[in-house]
Amino acid sequence: MIADALACADRYRGLGARFDTAFDYLARTDFATIADGRYAVDGERVFALVQRYRTKPDADGRWESHRRHIDVQLVVRGVERMGVGALDRFAPEPYDEARDVMFHTGAGDAVTVAAGHFTIFWPEDVHSPGLAAGEPADVLKVVVKIAV
């Protein structure tokens, strides 16, 4: 897992062309003017999910991982906590191939992510997004999915 400010995204451009595409999209797009939904950035190789929601208590969170995608999760407005842990620390549930998601049970750590900051979750990172950093609050977040 990586956590950093979008202003520092140039540090991660060496990870590959798809990361460059993702960070270019995040830097140039005014998400306040875009409706929630799925947006193609580079076909199925890189796409974005724009989401507005209210953060939830830890007890309502779900641990998840993905096999076919890396998540770059940018908090545009608000603040949330994201749980994170190594895949080998969790008990997996069956993998949902159609949705590219596997849910897990276990316990991990958490990072607080404020507006203008992002996380990168690799397939071996179990994560629990959308958690409240204190009281539940409204968040605007963009998750860019990068095919591995």
Report which of 38, 40, 85, 39 is spatially closest to residue 65, judged by C-alpha positions.
85
pTM of this prediction?
0.96
Reading the chain (148 residues) residue by residue, the pLDDT tens digits are 999 999 999 999 899 999 999 999 999 999 999 999 999 999 999 999 999 999 999 999 999 999 999 999 999 999 999 999 999 999 999 999 999 999 999 999 999 999 999 999 999 999 999 999 999 999 999 999 999 9
Question: What is the per-residue pLDDT for 88?
Answer: 94
Q: How many C-alpha atoms does 108 have within 13 Å on its Cβ side?
A: 27
CATH class name, domain 2-147: mainly beta
Delimit the domains of the chain by residue range.
Answer: 2-147
Contact yes or no for 59/131 (Cβ under 8 A): no
Q: Which pair of structure tokens corresponds to residue 136?
A: 């539940």
Query: d(Cα 65, Cα 72) in Å, to the nearest integer?
Result: 13
